[in-house]
Amino acid sequence: MRLYDAHNHLHDHRLDAVRDAACADLERIGVRASVVNGTQESDWEAVAQLARQHAWIRPSFGLHPWYSKERSPDWRHTLVRRLDENPHAAIGEIGLDRWIEGHDLPDQITVFTAQLALAAERNLPVAIHCLKAWGALQDTLHEHPVPQRGILLHSYGGPQEMTEAFVKAGAYFSFSPYFLRPGKERQREVFAHLSIEHILVETDAPDMAPPDSRNPHPLRDAASGETINHPANLEIAYTGLAEIRGMTVESFAEVIEENFLRFFGR
């Protein structure tokens, strides 16, 4: 079975001790492509380095709203250079977030739309994060060009009633193993009803771990002792969402492959 992780942070320092073994695990379970997303200028080189080491890793460079206040004056120039150096790169993780303390939504929109414009100009895949800013995101996407290939709303946790408008904007929606946890019934219901042609699967590793009862790769952060998500839990996300959709995991994986290659390219 061929698997595709549409969004993760494999370069994250919390995976330092297990990264080599995790990469071997991903190859063993049949991962054909894994999109590794940078979130700030300081981690873009780590993303690029991983992509140089593994042909199945697709780099993605972006300025996340959590870190937009820390950007350098030359951040956009640096982003353009990264994209020029990595012709198969995506843009991400970018977005809007009203959940974080002290958020400055107008400034976030400035940074977000600058990156969205780059994605539209180059017709690049773009991965979008959104927390408690769905209306602002919908308005922004309506008012600005988006890539012809569409956009990815990663770990989509927004309302079901907004999905139709996002689909009209060319959206794909990715499902993470975290949505298999108790209390995430609303998210599972959304993915049960989405058009399957607009679904992708992700891990968001090392974040968004599945419930302990469905976690074959228990992993803890050495520093904090907190549970973190192993990248090989991609299998759990596939299996869980196939169950929700009433499909065999093999037939589900075939559709996800088509969706992934349509959005990210071959």
Would you state the structure tokens that stand for residue 48, as one six-digit string? 């690029």
> How far apart are the C-alpha atoms of 22 and 179, rounded to whole Å?
22
Which residues are within 8 A (CB) of 109 and not within 5 positions of it... i.e. 6 or more apart? 96, 136, 140
The answer to whether the CB of 93 falls within 8 A of the CB of 38 is yes
The answer to whether the CB of 195 falls within 8 A of the CB of 226 is no
What are the structural domains, with CATH classification, of the chain? Answer: 3-264 (3.20.20.140)
**Measured CA angle at 68 (ends 262, 264), to 5 deg:** 5
The answer to whether the CB of 236 falls within 8 A of the CB of 199 is no
E strands, 107-178, in order: 126-131, 151-153, 171-175
- Burial state string for 33-65 with b = 16 or more CB within 10 A and e = fewer than 16: bbbbbbbbbebbebbbebbeeeeebbbbbbbbb
One-letter identity of residue 112: F
Q: Kindly compute the dihedral angle of the four CA atoms of residues 5, 60, 205, 157, in this order, to the nearest 10 degrees.
A: -80
Would you state the structure tokens that stand for residue 226, as one six-digit string? 């907190």
pLDDT tens, per residue, the chain with 266 residues: 999 999 999 999 999 999 999 999 999 999 999 999 999 999 999 999 999 999 999 999 999 999 999 999 999 999 999 999 999 999 999 999 999 999 999 999 999 999 999 999 999 999 999 999 999 999 999 999 999 999 999 999 999 999 999 999 999 999 999 999 999 999 999 999 999 999 999 999 999 999 999 999 999 998 899 999 999 999 999 999 999 999 999 999 999 999 999 999 98
> How far apart are the C-alpha atoms of 59 and 46, rounded to whole Å?
10
Closest CA to 6 of 126, 166, 158, 163: 126
In angstroms, the Cα distances linking 131 to 66, 94, 142, 227 are 11, 12, 18, 22
